[in-house]
Structure 1
Amino acid sequence: MMKKLFLVLFMFSFCTAFSQNNTSAENILDKSSAKIKSAKGINVSFSLTQKDKQNQVVSNSKGIMKMKGDKYYINQDGSEIYCNGLQIWNFDGQDEVTVAKVYKDDNEFSPPQILTGFNKKDFNIKLVSSAGNNYQVLLTPLDKRQNFKEITLYINKSTSLISKASVVSKMNDTIEINFNSISLNASFDDSQFVFDAKKHPGIDIINN
């Protein structure tokens, strides 16, 4: 479940992270990036669908994400991630929470990368369609050791924000994320990004 939570952030991050030789794709992503980076606080609701290689639905889930600078909170079907920029808490929604430090140079998909971006040299980026209400941008990793083959982003033409994303793994299964709403004017207290163990008496705390 935690990998799926980070995947939501990974998908969302692509709308702020990349530019490449394709001028149209670069302009689209840069415009979206500017809106995200200027946001005071970001509040997102999303739905996630996992499909197998026969395109049959395996699972569905819904969640919310809150961001403020390098701080974030995610709740997906009861599982939660808290991060205050220094520490990260992974709460299973029941009786266990894992605590770890945030490493700025970690390659794990994480919310700080939403604003700072990934290395654009690691991907080929192509605008594959501008039909309808969304731009469709295809991203393929240059490093074939990655566990996914391609990412497709759908960027809303009127808002310049990501509306949908999908990732195809090397096993040919697919995870689709629909960003149902994105608010860029949210206001959050810093306490919302810290796990409060006092609210969960008897919880098992695991320090990594």
Structure 2
Amino acid sequence: MKNLIFAGFCLLLTVNVFAQYDPKALEILEAMSKKYKSIPAFEANFSYVLTNDVEKVNEEFKGKLTVKGDKFRMVLPEQEVINNGATIWTYLPEAKEVNIDNYDKNSDDVNPSKIYEIYKKGFKYLYLQDKTEGGVLCEEIDLVPEKKDAQYFKVKMFINKKDKNIQSWTMFDKGGNKYKYTITKFVPNAKVEDNLFTFDPKKYPGVEVIDLR
């Protein structure tokens, strides 16, 4: 489940019989991407809701994401994921262990620091409508994976119509799960030091280091 949560933040996908390379959707996505690329570093608090109507699942938690260039640090209730652009650390506080691995830039998983560019590779996109989401007027867009065997078959994005910030997105997988992420607070131009994106075992006495590289 923890891996699904992380993948859920990193992968935005959808299947729709009417999916296409919609020029209006592209225009909106390009404006959104330009907005985020102009920000040197940012912090975002988010809420996460996992639901499955058939299995009667309803889980919620809150998290925080800090991004600077290609680097990111994501804090979740049961783990922290840290990436300096080359190495990725997954720290599990309750287990007192940290897993270290090389970050594969060519993997299907998308670096959260590039979430605003995901539509540029492997997706079709379709503008649906203007719709209010969380009290904010947004542009609703579906992203559709070109690969039929993609883990997620649907991602619905809501982009703030006024400032082009990402308001929320919901991913749908083939098992009937819906993963919804909503940005509850966004801090652009955050002052972030590079050492935030490196895990220092010395600061965590007793932690077991598992090097998978």
Under TM normalisation by the shorter chain, which class is it? 0.7 to 0.9
The 1:22–1:115 alpha-carbon spacing in structure 2 relative to 1, beyond 3 Å, is closer
Question: In the TM superposition, what is the alpha-carbon distance from 1:53 to its structure 2 partner?
Answer: 3.3
| CA contact 1:5–1:76 (8 Å) conserved in 2 | no
Note the residue ranges of structure 2 that are not aligned, 5 or more in a row.
14-19
Give the TM-score, by structure 1 length.
Answer: 0.88
Match of 2:99 in 1: 98
8 Å Cα contact 2:67/2:113 also seen in 1 = no
Q: Could you say if the C-alpha distance between residues 65 and 197 of structure 1 is closer, same or farther in structure 2, counting changes exceeding 3 Å?
A: same
Q: Deviations over 1:2-59 (max 9, x none)?
A: 4313422334x9xxxxxx7312111111110001001010101000000013484421
**How far apart are residue 150 of structure 1 and its match?**
0.7
State whether residues 123 and 140 of structure 1, in contact with CA within 8 Å, keep that contact through their aligned partners in structure 2. Answer: yes
**Matched residue, 1:124:** 124
> Residue 9 of structure 1 aligns with which residue?
10
Determine the C-alpha separation between the residues in 2 that align with 1:51 and 1:41: 31
Residues 2 and 79 in structure 1, CA contact (< 8 A), matched pair in contact too: no
Separation in 2 of the partners of 1:189 and 1:92? 23
Q: Which residue of 2 aligns with 1:68?
A: 68
Please, what is the CA RMSD of the aligned residues? 2.2
Q: In the alignment, which residue of structure 2 is the partner of 1:27?
A: 27
Q: Which whole-Å CA distance do the structure 2 matches of 1:90 and 1:28 have between them?
A: 34
Aligned-partner Cα distance in 2 for 1:55–1:36: 37
Contact 2:68 2:113 in 1 (8 A): no
TM (norm. structure 2) is: 0.86
Unaligned runs of 5+ in 1: 14-19
Q: Residue in 2 aligned with 1:59?
A: 59
Q: Which amino acid aligns with 2:169?
A: A
Maintained 8 Å contact 2:170/2:179: yes
Aligned residues: 201
Name the SS of the counterpart of 2:105 in structure 1. Answer: coil
Contact residue 42 and residue 183 of structure 1 kept, 8 A: yes
- Answering whether residue 149 of structure 2 is matched by residue 148 of structure 1, we say no
Report the Cα distance in structure 2 between the residues aligned to 1:185 and 1:176, rounded to whole angstroms.
25
- Structure 1 runs of 4+ aligned residues shifted over 6 Å read none
Which deviates more from structure 2 when the two are superposed, residues 49-58 or residues 71-80? 49-58
Q: What is the percent sequence identity of the aligned residues? A: 24
Question: Match of 1:130, SS?
Answer: strand
